[in-house]
Amino acid sequence: MILTVTPNPSLDRTYEVPGLRRGALLRAEGDRVEPGGKGVNVSRAVAATGGRTTAVMPLGGAEGALLARLLDEQGIEVAGVPLAGSTRVNITLVEPDGTLTKVNAAGPALTAAEAAALLLAVRSRAANADWIACCGSLPRGPGPEWYAELVARTHRAGARIALDTSGEALTAALAWRPEVVKPNAEELAEAVGRSLATVGDAVKAAEELRARGAGTVLASLGADGQLLVSDGGTYWGHAPVATVRSNVGAGDASLAGFLAAGGHGPAALAAAVAHGAAAVGLPGSAMPGTADLDPASVVTTADIPVDRPLADPRTGGPS
């Protein structure tokens, strides 16, 4: 069973707009609402391929009730911690050429009692979990050490942790040796404090995260595939994508595929790449089911293309 923790979940509203013009009224030509937050998406992806998962999250207000209902409709078990504030709504604007503009709300501040209740909700389920995926930004209130505390406490219960967060929350939690860390290229660059121009730069940055405490680093590099850097060696995986429809949640789908496939070794990397490639071919944050996956198209290799430039402009590579 994969237990996910999303301390700052969201309702994701996506509007298709004819174009972005500052100061103008934009009339949406289509819209959708989906459960959101990185751990929530990992649970959705695990469930979409028939895996067992429970999603732990704080829930508050009408937005929280709708989020719980949407997850229930998708057959996902939710362990909700009641919140005085209201769950946030994140907005994505999609232009006709597929360009996404996202506005992520800060979300409600958690009281000390709410943050402690969330920790307890995770800890009380830790013994039954193969993996605990701790994902996304932290809400205001508990401070950047909250994931570090969660890793320390759940490790004592014998759980294996996969962490997908950034900034101070990532830095603090590394010291407690999470088994898996899943940065994207931008988060990896931020964590090491320099831009990454090539796949080789990303490998060095991942090794640095391992030296700081990460067991395995699964680094997702957008169109440049994924890197697995671990005791068992370094591998690069990629798969062709015919049409990129939306990359929202592609990293979350990748982490779900990786953990569901055991969370180590090139076969798990291949599963992560298959999930990421399938997710970007689906609209919004839709998560791939088994029929969407094309494992035969995935290539993994220990022959790392160190000089390959990273195509993601956020990392300092050429666009």
Ligand X SMILES: O=P(O)(O)OC[C@H]1O[C@](O)(COP(=O)(O)O)[C@@H](O)[C@@H]1O
Ligand Y SMILES: Nc1ncnc2c1ncn2[C@@H]1O[C@H](COP(=O)(O)OP(=O)(O)O)[C@@H](O)[C@H]1O
User: Which residues are known catalytic residues?
Assistant: 252
CA count, 13 A, side-chain hemisphere, 188: 34
Task: Please give the residue whose beta carbon sits closest to ligand Y in the complex.
Answer: 251
36/225 with CB nearer ligand Y: 225
How far apart are CB 223 and ligand Y at their closest, in Å? 4
Q: Among residues 4, 8, 154, 315, which is the contact residue for ligand X, using CB under 6 A?
A: 8
13/266 with CB nearer ligand X: 13
Using CB under 6 A as the binding rule, the residues of this chain from 248 to 287 that contact ligand Y are 250-251, 254, 273, 276-277, 280
Please tell me what DSSP assigns to residue 51.
Answer: -
Task: Please give the residue whose beta carbon sits closest to ligand X in the complex.
Answer: 36
The helix-helix angle for 112-123 and 146-156 (nearest 10°) equals 30
Nearest to 8 by CA among 134, 168, 128, 183: 134
141 lies in the binding site for ligand X (CB under 6 A)? no
Using CB under 6 A as the binding rule, the residues of this chain from 28 to 47 that contact ligand X are 36-38, 41
How far apart are CB 139 and ligand X at their closest, in Å? 9
Q: Measure Cα distances from 62 to 41, 68, 73, 131, 300 in Å.
A: 20, 10, 16, 30, 45
Give the alpha-carbon dihedral of 65, 67, 71, 74, to 10 degrees. Answer: 110
54/165 with CB nearer ligand X: 165
How many Å apart are CA 170 and CA 27, to the nearest integer? 39
80/257 with CB nearer ligand Y: 257
251 lies in the binding site for ligand X (CB under 6 A)? yes
Q: Among residues 5, 115, 188, 248, which is the contact residue for ligand X, using CB under 6 A?
A: 248
How many Å apart are CA 55 and CA 44, to the nearest integer? 9
How far apart are CB 150 and ligand X at their closest, in Å? 15
How many Å apart are CA 122 and CA 212, to the nearest integer? 25
How many Å apart are CA 40 and CA 289, to the nearest integer? 16
Sign of CA dihedral 244, 248, 251, 257: negative
Measured in whole angstroms, the distance separating CA 93 from the mean position of its chain's CA atoms is 20
How far apart are CB 28 and ligand Y at their closest, in Å? 23
189 lies in the binding site for ligand Y (CB under 6 A)? no
Q: Give the pair of three-digit tokens for residue 171.
A: 């830095």
Question: Which of the stretches 8-16, 56-64, 65-73, 219-227 binds ligand Y when contact is defined by CB under 6 A?
Answer: 219-227
- Write the Ramachandran bin of 180: left for phi over 0, alpha for psi from -120 to 50, otherwise beta: beta
Out of ligand Y, ligand X, none, what residue 41 binds, judged by CB under 5 to 8 A for its kind, is ligand X
Kind of pairing between the strands at 180-181 and 216-220: parallel
How far apart are CB 38 and ligand Y at their closest, in Å? 8
Q: Among residues 2, 5, 10, 292, which is the contact residue for ligand X, using CB under 6 A?
A: 10
Q: In what order do the strands lie in the sheet with 216-220?
A: 77-82, 53-59, 2-5, 131-135, 161-164, 180-181, 216-220, 226-230, 233-238, 299-301
45/266 with CB nearer ligand X: 45
Question: Which of the stretches 4-12, 47-55, 214-222, 228-236 binds ligand X when contact is defined by CB under 6 A?
Answer: 4-12
Interacting residues toward ligand Y by CB under 6 A: 184, 220-223, 225-226, 241, 244, 247, 250-251, 254, 273, 276-277, 280
